[in-house]
Structure 1
Amino acid sequence: MRLRIRPITWPRPALVLADTPRPGCTRCGGEGGRAYDYGDHETGEYVGTEWDPCPCWDEDRSWVLLPLPRFPRRRQPHVDPWGNGYSDEPPF
């Protein structure tokens, strides 16, 4: 198991210790799996891409090290170009 520290944003911001793929793996070449495209059986049209994970890596194996605070979004105060302060009227 190779571990690294990485930030996540969902379900809440945190720093996690996560597993990484083996760099010398002969099945995936160190990428953790392979992606392949597939199509509709009747029309042959592209439907999507499927991810086939390699057994050398478990992408769900992670441990939260440090939860990070959620910073509130800063709102810009309304600035009236005529210098009259705030207005109750819509901007249109």
Structure 2
Amino acid sequence: MRPRLQLTGWDRRTLTLTDTPRPDCPRCEGEGGFAYDYGDHEGEYAGTDWDPCTCWDETRRRTLFRLPRIPRRSRGVRDPWSNEPPF
């Protein structure tokens, strides 16, 4: 395992320890997988798919701790159509 710290989550921020791809892997050259484009039945571009390499297990992660929420300070209600300066 080649550990890396990662910040995950948008609603509840969490600090996790994750695995990283092997940088000297001859198959994926350190990218961690293979991306390829595919098309629909008419031959038009329909998206990109990604297959992980065997040098990396992307499900290998451990939660270290959840970060506390910092309450936002509320500013007073301001009239958006007022022509008074905001100071």
Q: TM-score range by the shorter chain?
A: 0.7 to 0.9
Q: Which residue of 2 aligns with 1:50?
A: 49
Alpha-carbon distance in structure 1 between the residues aligned to 2:9 and 2:36: 27
Q: Which residue of 2 aligns with 1:25?
A: 25
Q: How many residues align?
A: 82
Structure 1 unaligned spans of 5+: 83-92
State the 1:24 CA deviation.
0.5
35 and 46 in structure 1: CA distance in 2 versus 1, 3 angstrom threshold? same
CA RMSD of aligned residues (A): 2.2
74 and 46 in structure 1: CA distance in 2 versus 1, 3 angstrom threshold? farther
Question: Share of identical aligned residues, percent?
Answer: 58
State the 1:6 CA deviation.
1.4
TM-score normalised to the size of structure 1?
Answer: 0.76
TM-score normalised to the size of structure 2?
Answer: 0.80
State the 1:77 CA deviation.
1.5
State the 1:11 CA deviation.
6.2
Q: Which residue of 1 aligns with 2:63?
A: 64
Amino acid across the alignment from 1:31: E
State the 1:12 CA deviation.
2.3
CA offset digits 1:37-67 (Å, max 9, x no partner): 0001x31001110001001111111101121
**Deviation beyond 6 Å, 4+ runs, structure 1:** none
Structure 2 unaligned spans of 5+: none
